[in-house]
Amino acid sequence: MSFTWDGKNKEGKALDGGRYIAKVSYIDGKRGQLQTEEIVFSRMSVKEMKEQFAEVSGKLDLKDRGAANTSVDLVDEEGRVVQQVWTTRDGNYRFQNVDAGKYKVRVNKKGFQREGIDIDAVKGAEAKSDVQLKAD
């Protein structure tokens, strides 16, 4: 599956470069909306993104248990999930194009205690937030 966007608004006018959120929904004709994902992307160069936004990355350690496909949320100070990603096979995760500020990295994995790590995201920098979960 692939999606494209020409960078124009509904009236056909080109929009300025910046950060955008694409919302993708899977809709079944009989059961309605089954799943929705939001994807943050930027219409700017990698250099511009790294200068204007922060990144938060880390590795999930589950002590010899599979860390792949684990939900990781980036939560702002008001408790809102601003981004959600899934870990790789090796347990790595990354949030890109993050506004500078204080966040909590929250990991959700069935059978493990829910863990939240405080993190400061700094414009133009990468913040590391490795997480080790304890089984319930």
Model confidence pLDDT, tens digit, residues 10-43: 899 988 777 777 778 888 888 887 777 777 777 7
Extended strands (E) in 16-121: 19-28, 32-42, 54-61, 71-75, 81-86, 92-98, 101-108, 115-121
- State residue 108's pLDDT score: 83
Domains with residue ranges and CATH for the chain: 1-43 (no CATH), 45-132 (2.60.40.10)
Beta-bridged to residue 40, according to DSSP, are: 21
